[in-house]
Structure 1
Amino acid sequence: MARAVVAQRLPPEIVDNIADGNRGDRRSLAASSLVCKTWLQSNRYHLFSEFDVYVGPNVGASFLQLLHHPLCTFVYCIRSISIYPGSPDALGVAGLGDGTVTALANLKHVTSLRIHNHRGFISKPVLTLLTSAFGEVTSLRLRNSFPSFHDAIEFFTAFPALKTLDFDSWCVGASPATVPDTLPPPATLSVIQLHSPFKDMSWFLDHHHRFPSLTLSEIADKNFPVVDHTLKTFGPDLHTLSLRFKEREISASPPSRFCQLDFLSNTRLTSLELEVPDGDLSVVFLFLQNLRLPTVQVLRWNFGRANRLYVLYGAVPSEADAKLADRQSFKCLGQLEFMTRYGIEGASHSLSLLQQKSYPKAAAVGIAIIHRYV
Structure 2
Amino acid sequence: MSMMIPELTDNIIDHLHDNRPALCSCSLVCRSWLPSSRFHLFSTVVLCFIDINTGLPMICSQSSTIAPYVRHLELEDGWNGWRRWLNDALPKLPNFGALKSLALGHIDWAQLTREPRRRDRLIGLSRCLNHLALEYVKFETMDQVLDLFYVAPSLEKVSLASVQCENENVSHTRSKTISLKEITFAGGSLARPLIDWLCLQPMPSVHTLNLAFVRMNQVPSISRYLKILGPKLEHLGLECSGECQDALCKAIDLSHNTSLCTISIDGIVLYDNYSNSPGARIQGWVIDILSQITSRYISMVTLIVLTKTPQEIYSLDLPALSLAFTGVSSVLSERNARLRFHVLGEVNRSIGIRWP
Q: Same fold (TM over 0.5)?
A: yes
Cα distance change of structure 1 residues 200 and 108 upon mapping to structure 2, 3 Å threshold = closer
SS of the residue aligned with 1:173? strand
Cα distance change of structure 1 residues 167 and 294 upon mapping to structure 2, 3 Å threshold = same
Structure 2 counterpart of 1:273, which letter?
S
Partner of 1:204: 198
SS of the residue aligned with 1:166? strand
SS of the residue aligned with 2:340? strand
Cα distance change of structure 1 residues 127 and 83 upon mapping to structure 2, 3 Å threshold = same
Partner of 1:81: 73
> How big is each residue's C-alpha offset from its partner over 1:83-130, in whole Å with a ceiling of 9 and x where there is no partner?
1113569998xx544x73344333332222111113462216334422
Cα distance change of structure 1 residues 344 and 233 upon mapping to structure 2, 3 Å threshold = farther
Aligned residues of 1:194 and 1:217 also touching (Cα < 8 A): yes
Cα distance change of structure 1 residues 177 and 265 upon mapping to structure 2, 3 Å threshold = closer
1:89-238 alignment runs, 5 A limit = 96-97=86-87, 100-119=89-108, 121=110, 122-123=112-113, 125=116, 126-143=118-135, 144-168=137-161, 170-174=163-167, 176-185=169-178, 187=179, 189-196=180-187, 197-207=191-201, 209-220=204-215, 223-238=218-233
Structure 1 counterpart of 2:238, which letter?
L
State TM-score, norm by structure 1. 0.68
Cα distance change of structure 1 residues 292 and 181 upon mapping to structure 2, 3 Å threshold = same
Q: Which structure features the higher share of helix residues?
A: 2
Cα distance change of structure 1 residues 347 and 287 upon mapping to structure 2, 3 Å threshold = farther
Within 1, Cα distance between the matches of 2:328 and 2:129? 42
Question: What are the ranges of 5 or more consecutive residues in structure 1 without an aligned counterpart?
Answer: 1-15, 22-32, 359-374
Aligned residues of 1:150 and 1:179 also touching (Cα < 8 A): no
How far apart are residue 166 of structure 1 and its match?
1.0
Aligned residues of 2:108 and 2:139 also touching (Cα < 8 A): no
SS of the residue aligned with 2:127? coil
> How big is each residue's C-alpha offset from its partner over 1:169-221, in whole Å with a ceiling of 9 and x where there is no partner?
74212275444431211x4x211112332345221112261112111121135
Within 2, Cα distance between the matches of 1:346 and 1:61? 43
Aligned residues of 2:168 and 2:193 also touching (Cα < 8 A): no
SS of the residue aligned with 2:313? coil
Cα distance change of structure 1 residues 100 and 245 upon mapping to structure 2, 3 Å threshold = same
Structure 2 counterpart of 1:149, which letter?
M
Partner of 2:292: 292
Structure 2 counterpart of 1:293, which letter?
I
Matched, 1:262 2:246: no
Structure 2 counterpart of 1:329, which letter?
S
How far apart are residue 294 of structure 1 and its match?
2.7
Cα distance change of structure 1 residues 170 and 112 upon mapping to structure 2, 3 Å threshold = closer
SS of the residue aligned with 1:162? coil
How far apart are residue 318 of structure 1 and its match?
2.5
SS of the residue aligned with 1:184? coil
Aligned residues of 1:216 and 1:244 also touching (Cα < 8 A): yes
Partner of 1:273: 264
State TM-score, norm by structure 2. 0.71
Cα distance change of structure 1 residues 287 and 62 upon mapping to structure 2, 3 Å threshold = closer
Aligned length: 309
Partner of 1:53: 47
SS of the residue aligned with 2:254? coil
> How big is each residue's C-alpha offset from its partner over 1:240-288, in whole Å with a ceiling of 9 and x where there is no partner?
1111224x5567xxxx334444211212212111112524653235522
1:322-341 alignment runs, 5 A limit = 322-326=323-327, 328-330=329-331, 331-341=334-344
SS of the residue aligned with 1:287? helix
Aligned residues of 1:151 and 1:177 also touching (Cα < 8 A): no
Aligned residues of 2:44 and 2:70 also touching (Cα < 8 A): yes
Within 2, Cα distance between the matches of 1:65 and 1:179? 43
Within 2, Cα distance between the matches of 1:133 and 1:170? 20
Cα distance change of structure 1 residues 210 and 175 upon mapping to structure 2, 3 Å threshold = closer
Within 1, Cα distance between the matches of 2:109 and 2:83? 8
Q: CA RMSD in A?
A: 3.8
Within 2, Cα distance between the matches of 1:206 and 1:169? 23
Question: What are the ranges of 5 or more consecutive residues in structure 2 without an aligned counterpart?
Answer: 1-15, 271-276
> Mean Cα displacement is larger for which, 222-231 or 339-348?
339-348
Partner of 1:244: 239
Structure 1 counterpart of 2:325, which letter?
L
Aligned residues of 1:220 and 1:249 also touching (Cα < 8 A): no
Within 2, Cα distance between the matches of 1:343 and 1:115? 32
> How big is each residue's C-alpha offset from its partner over 1:151-174, in whole Å with a ceiling of 9 and x where there is no partner?
101112211222210124742122
Structure 1 counterpart of 2:175, which letter?
T
SS of the residue aligned with 2:74? strand
SS of the residue aligned with 2:213? strand
SS of the residue aligned with 1:319? helix
Aligned residues of 2:47 and 2:56 also touching (Cα < 8 A): no
SS of the residue aligned with 2:192? coil
Aligned residues with identical type, % of pairs? 15
Cα distance change of structure 1 residues 258 and 347 upon mapping to structure 2, 3 Å threshold = farther
Aligned residues of 2:72 and 2:101 also touching (Cα < 8 A): yes
How far apart are residue 227 of structure 1 and its match?
2.8
